[in-house]
Amino acid sequence: MGIRPHYLFKQIFELLLAIALVFFKLKYMKSASRILLSSALTVLSFGVVTYTACKKDKCKDIVCQNGGVCSGGVCNCPTNYSGSHCEVAGPCAGIVCQNGGTCNNGVCACPSGYEGAFCENESRAKFTKTWNATDTDSYNNNPVSPYQPVISNDTSLTHVRISLIRNGFFSHDVIATVNGDSLIIPIQQPDAGINSYSISGSAVYINDTLYWHYQMTTPGIANYKGTWR
């Protein structure tokens, strides 16, 4: 609109000031004062209506979708949405990754220790139970008597504790690192202070079964393979 609001109000103010001066000069002329007051109110109302008309709400007819918010006639879209009205959904729209996971092109990238489509599962959860173990000496194929080792959670999210490995050979638990579908036993001496026997090895988890290869030094070296179900 052609009229600038600040200029309009300046003119209205000057007009009202002039009317007020006349009003006081004619203070004994009641009928004239009423006319002048009515005129002032009319002019003021005209100014308010004109200013309101000039200050149009740019967001009045704009509907932003998917949680978008209109500001100055433009939709500000939330993450993973775009378009003039936030109508276009990105590949991560509606995907909520849990436990600190982040969505990348529609797929949750999980932090260490978590897995699943939405990072909803602890990676070590599939390992923690009592297993039925069948181990064999890799050198001579002599079997170890069947036994039931137990894998339980360690204090760290990416570690587990293995009790009774090699049919209870060690008095203390063996600590293993969880790496997706694998368990890794870094070389260690579970009974340090009692003896110097050590163990190291790894296992892979396939179809609810752990397939092991581990080495023990007692002080001779022995290699074992195992199937735990």
- The verdict on 37 and 73 lying in the same domain is no
Single pTM value for the model: 0.68
- The verdict on 193 and 166 lying in the same domain is yes
**Number of structural domains the chain divides into:** 3
pLDDT tens, position by position, 90-101: 999 999 999 999
- The verdict on 24 and 39 lying in the same domain is yes
What's the CATH code of the domain at 141? 2.40.128.420
What's the CATH code of the domain at 107? 2.10.25.10
- The verdict on 73 and 50 lying in the same domain is no
pLDDT tens, position by position, 83-130: 999 999 999 999 999 999 999 999 999 999 999 999 999 999 999 999
- The verdict on 92 and 151 lying in the same domain is no
Element (H, E) at 34: helix 30-54
pLDDT tens, position by position, 188-210: 999 999 999 999 999 999 999 99
For residue 62, being part of any structural domain is answered with no
